[in-house]
Amino acid sequence: MDKTTTFPLSFSGYEIEGLTEADAQRLLPLYQSCSDYVVLERGLGPDAAIALEEFQSFPPDRTEADKFVFGLKAATGALVGMLACDRDYPREKSWWIALLMIDPAARRHGVAKTLCEDFFRFLKTQGANRVELAVFEENVAGLRFWESQGFDPVRTAGPVHIGTKQHSLQVLARQL
Ligand SMILES: CC(C)(COP(=O)(O)OP(=O)(O)OC[C@H]1O[C@@H](n2cnc3c(N)ncnc32)[C@H](O)[C@@H]1OP(=O)(O)O)[C@@H](O)C(=O)NCCC(=O)NCCS
């Protein structure tokens, strides 16, 4: 598997694209349309560096080698969603989801649900057996989404400071 590896999507009208740092500028409009989430995360709207930062943020003791950023591309070519994740974190065969973000105009149509189902199917083919992630406790909609996808609470974490915000985190996990 390399950075441009994709997986089949069962949602018509969209496809998955494996993204690299060179695609950061193409993701900026998505961050801008998702400023609701960016403000929740950092208390400030998206700046020009925000998309690049996603490619350069890793969990403790991990590197760029295990970072994968998948774009959800509409028929127009626009990136209307993204899934950023880290392979084998916090342990081997477990993947860490750093961010799942869907353009507000496409939300509540089952896009994220389908994307996750297809991604998890793909992860199993890669030998993974578990997915883990952290949600800001303030992100009630995000928490509801992950619970609806079968994730269970593992522990709380934080506080973490991002921009002007301080967050408590809920760590969630599910077996594949
Ligand atoms: C969370 C997010 C990815 C969900 O994307 P989506 O495409 O709207 O989700 P889906 O339509 O596939 O929703 C599947 C189910 O999740 C739950 N859900 C999704 N959004 C929800 C919300 N705002 N409030 C409560 N439940 C929600 C529902 O059970 C939903 O099923 P339903 O629509 O039939 O009731 C999207 O709202 C988003 O990008 N938010 C900003 C970023 C974020 O918070 N990411 C998660 C933290 S990493």
Q: Name all residues whose Cβ lies below 6 A of ligand 1.
A: 34, 37, 99-102, 107-113, 135, 139, 141-142, 144-145, 148
Bond before 90 cis per omega within 30 degrees: yes
Considering only CA atoms, give the Rg of the chain. 15
**Pocket probe mutation, ligand 1, options 145, 146, 169, max atoms within 8 Å of Cβ:** 145
In a domain, 1, yes or no: no
CATH of the domain at 146: 3.40.630.30
Provide the pLDDT for residue 164: 97
**Please, which residues bridge with residue 129 across strands?**
none
The tens-digit pLDDT sequence of the chain (176 residues) is 899 999 999 988 999 999 999 999 999 999 999 999 999 999 999 999 999 999 999 999 999 999 999 999 999 999 999 999 999 999 999 999 999 999 999 999 999 999 999 999 999 999 999 999 999 999 999 999 999 999 999 999 989 999 999 999 999 999 99
| Cα–Cα distance, 106 to 5 (Å, whole number) | 24
Provide the pLDDT for residue 40: 98
Provide the pLDDT for residue 167: 98
The total of other beta-carbon atoms located within 10 Å of residue 34's CB is 21
Sheet holding 14-19, edge to edge: 14-19, 67-74, 79-86, 94-102, 130-136, 165-175, 152-162
Question: Where does 43-170 have alpha helices with state H?
Answer: 50-55, 111-125, 140-148
In a domain, 58, yes or no: yes
Which atom of ligand 1 lies nearest, measured to the CA of 144? 26
Q: Is this structure's pTM higher than 0.75?
A: yes
- The tally of domains found in the chain comes to 1
| Cα–Cα distance, 94 to 132 (Å, whole number) | 7
Provide the pLDDT for residue 11: 87
Strand runs labelled E in the chain = 14-19, 67-74, 79-86, 94-102, 130-136, 152-162, 165-175
> Which residue range forms the structural domain that includes residue 125?
14-175
Q: State in Å: Cα 114 to ligand 1 middle.
A: 11
Protein residue whose Cα sits closest to atom 15 of ligand 1:
145
In a domain, 44, yes or no: yes
Residue with tokens 């998206």: 46
Provide the pLDDT for residue 72: 98
In a domain, 166, yes or no: yes
